[in-house]
Amino acid sequence: MKITLIIATIGTIASLLSLQVAANSLFSLENLERERAALLSAQLDSSLDLSQRQQKVQGIYRRLVDIERMVLRDDRVTSSSSQLAKNAFDKYELTFLVHSSAEKSLPPLSHWMSELDLTTDTILSAKTGHR
Amino acid sequence: MKNRIIMSSFILVLNLGCTHFVLASEGRNWDPVASDKLIKLPANIIEKRIQQDFEASPMALHIVELEQQMQDKLSQLKSLRELMTDSEGDNLINQRFELVQQKSKYLDLMQEAQGLRQNALAKKQDLYETVLGKLRNKNGRVSQGEVFQLKQKQAEARQRMQKVLAQVDNSLMHTGLDQRSPYADEFALNLAKVEDLKNAISKHKANASPTLGDEEVTSEEYVRQLLMQASTEQSLLDQEALMFSYMAKLVALDAQSLEYEISYGDESTELTQRNRTKPAEVADLFL
């Protein structure tokens, strides 16, 4: 009788533990990707003036700090070998833009551009034309 | 008649001397299986589970029965030996015959128990080897798997982030965002509790690593040690088998000597030289 109760308890605990896996495991990473894209869009949006851009970027920056930390602490992200998760961790510099830019003491946009080799020289030497 | 019985017991004892161990008879077997459920248990519990399974098996119960019978037989042998010190003549012959027979029966029991023990040990060894193989496979699969590599990368990234946490928080302050976000507040609040819970888990006895002596070891190392122990037991059982074969040989020699004694008389009895008339002794009669 006692053993049956113990087994039933273990079963309940196992089902509680498995609840975590049931949710979309890449949810936080997808949010990060969206938020980063929003940051870059805001930085490159020529329709915004300086103060508008600064205000918008600040809000996104703050959310990105949180969400980058959430992704790095979220075990669900790495519970399956999805291509999205693999790419994210293979390219730490680009994925975790806020924290990796802090390592180099650069603003996130400058860091992003340097990672993609978008320097003043390469931009000025670029020519328009068909690919 | 007695000669025939002695001869048959002599042949029986000789057979015992061959030390050919038969496998456990049907229905007295133990068939352990290295199931996935068993592999998931902590290594020290695996050992206990296997021992528990063996002790509940018909094979182990039969070994216990045989041990009891052997103890009874031993006390019979002891009392017979005591009786023999005061006996002589035919009575002594009968008791010696009885002693050989009882020794032979004792060896029968011993042989059966020894065979069962060898069989159980071989099965235990096979089982430990399978468990070790499965543990190695599991660890190999985990360490080579994509998920494992991804988790490694995440852990590295987390360490990297940890180094710049304060720096990023400072940069938030500099940009005028001096209030922490609800996530950061809640996370900091929960973190201490999470650490306490993690500590409680790591100290929980059900989560303790197996130990050898005072040293904590991995499951793989523990099972390897169990295999070493099984080898030691095997070696001692082999030595016991050798002792057992020598005991059987001695009983065979006892039976043989008894047979010779009954057939040809006591070995101390000298063959009387038939009286032979020597010419020298009778020569005087002719003088």
B177 close to A (CB below 8 A): yes
Burial of B20 (0-12, 13-18, 19+ CB in 10 A): exposed
Question: Would you state the pLDDT for residue A22?
Answer: 47
Question: Would you state the pLDDT for residue B269?
Answer: 52
Q: Work out the minimum CA distance from A120 to partner chain B, whole angstroms.
A: 26
Give residues with Cβ within 8 angstroms of A112, minimum separation 6. Answer: A40, A94, A97, A101
Question: Would you state the pLDDT for residue A65?
Answer: 92
Write out the two tokens for B109: 């029991």
Label residue B211 by pLDDT band (50, 70, 90): confident
Indicate whether B281 belongs to any domain.
no
The residue of chain A nearest to residue B172, with distances taken between CA atoms, is A62
How far, in Å, CA of B120 to CA of B59, rounded? 8
- pLDDT at A18 exceeding the cut of 60: no
More confident residue, B283 or A106: A106
Domain parsing of chain A, residue ranges: 26-124
Question: Would you state the pLDDT for residue A19?
Answer: 44
How far, in Å, CA of A77 to CA of B114, rounded? 57
Phi-psi region of B104 (alpha: psi -120 to 50; beta: other; left: phi over 0): alpha
Testing the interface with A: which of B159, B161, B177 to mutate, by most A Cβ within 10 A?
Answer: B161
pLDDT digits 0-9 by tens, A23-40: 578 888 999 999 999 999
Indicate whether B83 belongs to any domain.
yes
Q: DSSP characters for B211-258? A: EETTEE--HHHHHHHHHHHHHHHHHHHHHHHHHHHHHHHHHHHHHHHH
Question: Would you state the pLDDT for residue B20?
Answer: 41
Question: Would you state the pLDDT for residue B277?
Answer: 72
Indicate whether B142 belongs to any domain.
yes
- Phi, psi dihedrals of residue A117, rounded to the nearest 5°: 60, 40
More confident residue, B129 or B216: B129
Q: What percent of chain B has pLDDT over 90?
A: 20
Is B154–A77 a contact, with Cβ atoms under 8 angstroms apart?
Answer: yes
pLDDT digits 0-9 by tens, B49-62: 889 999 999 999 99
More confident residue, A107 or B202: A107
- pLDDT at B139 exceeding the cut of 80: no
pLDDT digits 0-9 by tens, A38-80: 999 999 999 999 999 988 998 899 899 999 999 998 888 888 7
pLDDT digits 0-9 by tens, B3-41: 555 555 545 444 444 434 344 445 678 988 888 888 888
- pLDDT at A17 exceeding the cut of 60: no
A121 close to B (CB below 8 A): no
Q: State the residue range of the domain holding B184.
A: 1-268
Q: DSSP characters for B62-113? A: HHHHHHHHHHHHHHHHHHHHHHHHT--HHHHHHHHHHHHHHHHHHHHHHHHH
In chain B, residues with a C-beta closer than 8 Å to the C-beta of A89 are 150, 153-154, 157
Q: Tell me the Cα Rg of chain A.
A: 21
- pLDDT at A20 exceeding the cut of 80: no
How far, in Å, CA of B11 to CA of B252, rounded? 8
How far, in Å, CA of A78 to CA of B18, rounded? 63
How much is the mean pLDDT over chain B? 81
Is B168–A65 a contact, with Cβ atoms under 8 angstroms apart?
Answer: yes
| ipTM tops 0.85 | no
Nearest to B157 among A62, A75, A89 (CB): A89
- pLDDT at A107 exceeding the cut of 60: yes
Number of structural domains in chain B: 1
